[in-house]
Amino acid sequence: MCQASKAAEFLRLLALGELRVYLNPKAPGVVCPERFKREPYIVLRYGEDMMTGLEVTADGVMATLLFSGQENETYLPWVSVFMMCVKETEDGIMYWEDVPQSLAIALGMLRRAKARAERAPGRPHLALVS
């Protein structure tokens, strides 16, 4: 998918309510609090009362967000974003090509475990919960 089309999707989803953006904080160009840079992924929340200075471009999204009561400048190049969803409605989109490799491996393992469990009725199985 063209990275620039993520900008239009971000704005469309944001118009529906609080937007949760899942991203790879280790991707080049990401600006966020340093303590999050070691995580395999993070979720940032965008909404009317949660941000200032929102700027959405074909290259990424910039805003000042609150982290533990402190304002922090953030910038997410679109290549770092792998999922966006609206909290209230769960409308959203997944960009599989941008999922961090470590997370993709874990998701693949869960999918295979689920498929095995579905083929073997009556046996305990794993479930993905949030």
Spatial contact of 91 and 36, defined as CB atoms under 8 Å apart: no
Q: What span, in angstroms and rounded, lies between the C-alpha atoms of 25 and 80?
A: 7
Measured between alpha carbons, how far is 99 from 17 in angstroms, rounded to an integer? 24
**pLDDT score, position 45:** 96
Q: What is the pLDDT along the chain (130 residues), one digit of tens a residue?
A: 567 699 999 999 999 999 999 999 999 999 999 999 999 899 999 998 889 999 999 999 999 999 988 999 999 999 999 999 999 888 999 898 888 887 766 666 666 666 666 776 665 555 566 5
Q: What's the rounded Cα separation, in Å, for the pair 31 and 74?
A: 5
Parts of the chain belonging to CATH 2.30.30.220 = 5-99
Q: Which option is the CATH number for 5-99: 2.30.30.220, 2.40.50.1020, 3.40.50.300, 3.90.1150.10?
A: 2.30.30.220
- Could you give the CA distance from residue 41 to residue 43 in angstroms, rounded to a whole number? 7
